[in-house]
C-alpha cells in the first residue's frame, strides 16, 4: 500500500487527475489520483493514511516548488484539481467523523476587492493539508467574517487583498474582528501586503505565499 500512497502523492504533485486526463503528457494512460484513491480505500487503506501519506505529501511538494518559482499557477491548479477529485472519495469519511480535520480555516478577499486567484490557491493548499476550509469568496464584509467565526469558534481567519485601496479595508476588518471576536488568529496576504503592514494593523501573520500559511497553521497545532 505504501507504493500506492507514493503514486497518489505523485499524481497530486504532477496534476494527474484521472486515467483519461491528458495532463501531464508523460503520465498519459496511467491511473490518476481518482482511480488510485478509490483503489486504496477499496483495498482497506485507512482514509487518514490516504490523506496524510498521499494527498498531503503531494500538495506539500507542489507548494514548495511554487514558492521556489519552479512551477506556476496553472500547475498548482492542476494539482488542486487532482486533490479535489481524490477528496470526493474521502468526503464520506470526513462527514461521518471517521477522519478529523486539523482545524477550520475561514478565508475571503476583503470588501471592495474581486481578485480571487491567489486566495483560491491559499484555500486549496490549506485544504490539501488537512484543514477544513470555509471560503467566503470575494468582496467580503467584516460582518460576514464575524458571523462565520461565531459559528465556528476557534477557527483561524485568512484575509486577502490585491489592491492598495482595499488594504485599508483589510485594516478595518482586522480592527472589527479584534473588537467583536477577540483572540481570533488572523493571517493576511496578497500582492501589495507586507509584513510591515501586518505589524501596523496588528494581524498575527503575513505570508507572501500559500506554503507559509500552511506552515504557520501546522505550527499552531503542533
Ligand atoms: C487577474 C487580475 C485581475 C482580474 C481578477 C480575476 C480574479 N478572478 O481574480 C480582474 C480583471 C477582474 C481584475 C480587476 C481589477 N484589477 Co486587477 N489584476 C489582476 C492581475 C493581472 C493578477 C492578479 C493575480 O491573480 N495574481 C496571481 C496570484 C496567484 O497572486 P496573488 O493574488 O498575489 O496571490 C499570491 C500571494 O499574494 C498570496 N496570497 C494571496 N492572498 C493571500 C491571503 C493569505 C491569507 C495569504 C497567507 C497569502 C495570500 O498567495 C498567492 C499565491 O502565491 C494583477 C497584476 C499582477 N500581475 O499581479 C492585477 C492588479 C492586482 N489589478 C489591479 C487593478 C487596478 C484592478 C482594477 C481596479 C482594474 C480596473 N480599473 O477595473 C480591477 C479591480 C476590481 C476589484 N474591485 O477588485 C492592479 C492593482 C494596483 C494597486 N496597486 O492597487 C494590478 C496590480 C494591476 C496593475 N499593475 O495595475 N484584475
User: Helices 73-96 and 2-14: crossing angle, nearest 10°?
Assistant: 130
49-84 in b/e form (b: 16+ CB < 10 A) is bbbebbbbbbbbbbbebbeeeebeeebbebbbbbbb
User: Is residue 59 lining ligand 1, measured as CB closer than 6 Å?
Assistant: no
| pLDDT band for position 48 (cuts 50, 70, 90) | confident
Comparing 196 with 56, the larger pLDDT belongs to: 196
Q: Atom 24 of ligand 1 has which residue's CA nearest to it? A: 117
pLDDT tens column, 165-193? 999 999 999 999 999 999 999 999 999 99
Q: Using most ligand atoms within 8 A of CB, pick from 65, 105, 115 the residue to mutate for ligand 1.
A: 115
Label residue 125 exposed, middle or buried (CB < 10 Å: 0-12, 13-18, 19+).
buried
At residue 124, the pLDDT reads 87
What integer is the mean pLDDT of 97-107?
89
Q: Using most ligand atoms within 8 A of CB, pick from 64, 69, 118 the residue to mutate for ligand 1.
A: 118
Q: Are the beta carbons of 124 and 83 closer than 8 angstroms?
A: yes
Q: How far is the CA of 163 from the centre of ligand 1 (A)?
A: 7
At residue 96, the pLDDT reads 80
User: Is residue 122 lining ligand 1, measured as CB closer than 6 Å?
Assistant: yes
Q: Are the beta carbons of 83 and 9 closer than 8 angstroms?
A: no
What integer is the mean pLDDT of 19-26?
96
User: Is residue 116 lining ligand 1, measured as CB closer than 6 Å?
Assistant: yes
At residue 72, the pLDDT reads 95
Q: How far is the CA of 214 from the centre of ligand 1 (A)?
A: 21
- 41: CB partners within 8 A, 6+ apart: 47, 50, 89, 90
What the block records as the C-alpha cell of 28 is: 498519459
Which stretch of 5-14, 48-57, 160-169, 210-219 has the lowest confidence by average pLDDT?
A: 48-57
Q: Are the beta carbons of 5 and 53 closer than 8 angstroms?
A: yes
Q: How far is the CA of 210 from the centre of ligand 1 (A)?
A: 15
pLDDT tens column, 58-99? 999 999 999 999 999 999 999 999 998 998 998 888 778 777
| pLDDT band for position 221 (cuts 50, 70, 90) | very high
| Whole-angstrom distance, CA of residue 181 vs CA of residue 174 | 10
How many helices (H) and strands (E) are present in the chain, helices listed first? 10, 5
User: Which ranges of 97-209 would DSSP assign to H, the alpha helix?
Assistant: 117-128, 142-151, 164-180, 195-201
What integer is the mean pLDDT of 203-213?
96
| Whole-angstrom distance, CA of residue 162 vs CA of residue 154 | 27
Residue 127: pLDDT above 80? Answer: yes
Task: Please give the number of the atom of ligand 1 that sits closest to the Cα of 113.
Answer: 78
| Whole-angstrom distance, CA of residue 159 vs CA of residue 106 | 9
| Whole-angstrom distance, CA of residue 130 vs CA of residue 96 | 16
Q: How far is the CA of 183 from the centre of ligand 1 (A)?
A: 29
User: Is residue 121 lining ligand 1, measured as CB closer than 6 Å?
Assistant: yes
Amino acid at each position: 500500500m505504501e507504493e500506492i500512497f507514493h503514486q497518489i502523492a505523485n499524481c497530486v504533485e504532477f496534476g494527474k487527475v484521472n486515467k483519461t486526463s491528458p495532463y501531464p503528457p508523460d503520465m498519459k494512460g496511467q491511473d490518476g489520483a481518482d482511480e488510485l484513491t478509490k483503489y486504496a480505500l477499496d483495498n482497506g487503506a485507512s482514509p487518514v493514511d490516504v490523506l496524510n501519506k498521499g494527498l498531503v505529501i503531494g500538495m506539500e511538494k507542489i507548494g514548495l516548488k511554487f514558492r521556489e518559482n519552479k512551477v506556476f499557477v496553472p500547475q498548482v491548479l492542476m494539482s488542486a484539481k487532482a486533490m479535489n477529485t481524490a477528496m470526493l472519495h474521502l468526503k464520506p469519511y470526513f462527514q461521518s467523523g471517521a477522519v478529523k480535520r486539523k482545524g477550520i480555516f475561514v478565508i475571503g478577499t476583503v470588501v471592495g476587492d474581486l481578485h480571487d486567484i491567489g486566495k483560491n490557491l491559499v484555500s486549496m493548499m490549506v485544504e490539501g493539508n488537512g484543514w477544513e476550509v470555509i471560503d467566503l469568496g470575494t468582496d467580503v464584509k467584516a460582518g460576514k467574517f464575524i458571523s462565520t467565526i461565531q459559528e465556528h469558534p476557534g477557527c483561524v481567519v485568512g484575509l486577502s487583498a490585491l489592491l492598495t485601496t482595499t488594504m485599508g479595508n483589510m485594516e478595518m476588518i482586522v480592527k472589527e474582528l479584534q473588537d467583536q471576536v477577540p483572540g481570533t488568529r488572523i493571517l493576511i496576504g496578497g500582492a501589495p501586503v507586507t509584513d510591515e503592514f501586518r505589524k501596523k494593523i496588528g494581524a498575527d501573520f503575513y505570508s507572501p505565499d500559500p506554503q507559509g500559511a500552511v506552515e504557520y497553521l501546522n505550527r499552531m497545532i503542533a
